[in-house]
Amino acid sequence: DADVTQTPRNRITKTGKRIMLECSQTKGHDRMYWYRQDPGLGLQLIYYSFDVKDINKGEISDGYSVSRQAQAKFSLSLESAIPNQTALYFCATSDPDGPGELFFGEGSRLTVL
Amino acid sequence: AQSVAQPEDQVNVAEGNPLTVKCTYSVSGNPYLFWYVQYPNRGLQFLLKYITGDNLVKGSYGFEAEFNKSQTSFHLKKPSALVSDSALYFCAVRAFLLAWSGGSYIPTFGRGTSLIVHP
């Protein structure tokens, strides 16, 4: 089983719908992240969390919200999806005691029509 | 501003030839530098990192990277490319962002370089 699991892997939805992307991890890491990948733009940080009570906005948080339900679970929500949120979304974790390399899930491809 | 630049969108190399994927960075203080690889329809996988010590670091799949402080570069290299090395490569640096806890280091990524190895 994967250490970082994202669901769903693929989702097609319509403008205005609420969408939740879920992430769970078995690595025991306190730090979790949500990134968005667009072609040619690399990875952009949406939100990050250093523990259950610590949630912070990244560089592109507008239109998104998150919930850290437990150490192992970190969900990303789009309250009212719009077409320019069509992208590949990645969840990642890191060990706070380590140098900082990230461990990624396989990604969630979201298409907003 | 703290940032990473990957100046080439795409690198083409023939199988068996050496390859280099370039990365330059800008960061306050000492950098922690990383390379990741992304195969089609997959998440990013960690390849190697520079923390301190020897400027030449070795990683997975025969890749290595050279840290050059004076040129603020961290180029990824491999002596002999394989077709299976074709993928998207990302350079990343730990950057500092303020959080309620007083501050911490968040990785910042470059835009990625597509490596194409021709048979």
pLDDT in tens, B32-89: 899 999 998 889 999 999 988 889 999 999 999 999 999 999 999 999 999 999 999 9
Q: What is the pLDDT of residue A56?
A: 92
Burial of A61 (0-12, 13-18, 19+ CB in 10 A): middle
Give the mean pLDDT of B98-103: 49
**Tokens encoding A57:** 């906005």
Phi first, then psi: give them for residue B77, nearest 5 degrees: -140, 155
**Would you write out chain A's pLDDT as a tens digit for each of its 113 residues?**
679 999 999 999 999 999 999 999 999 999 999 999 998 788 999 999 988 999 999 989 999 999 999 999 999 999 999 999 999 999 999 987 766 789 999 999 999 99
For residue A76, the distance in angstroms to the closest alpha carbon of chain B comes to 17
* Structure confidence at residue A28 (pLDDT): 92
Q: Which SS3 state, helix, strand or coil, does residue A84 take?
A: helix
* pLDDT of amino acid B40: 87
Contact B104 A50 (CB under 8 A): yes
| A35/A43 Cα distance (integer angstroms) | 6
Q: What pLDDT score does B28 carry?
A: 79
Q: Which residues 37-96 of A are in CB contact (within 8 Å) with B?
A: 40-43, 45, 48, 50, 54, 56, 58, 90, 92, 94
- Whether the CB-CB separation of A91 and A34 falls below 8 Å is answered with yes
Count other Cβ atoms within 10 Å, centred on residue B96. 14
pLDDT category at B3 given cuts 50, 70, 90 is confident
| Among the listed residues B103, B80, B71, the one whose alpha carbon sits nearest the alpha carbon of residue B5 | B71
Encoding tokens for residue A64?
Answer: 């998104």
For chain B, positions 4-63, list CB contacts with chain A under 8 A.
9, 32, 34, 36, 41-46, 49, 51
Phi and psi of B83, rounded to 5°? -55, -35
Pairing of strands A108-112, A10-13: parallel
Task: Tell me which range, B9-18, B39-48, B102-111, is most confidently predicted by mean pLDDT.
Answer: B9-18
Q: What is the pLDDT of residue A97?
A: 73
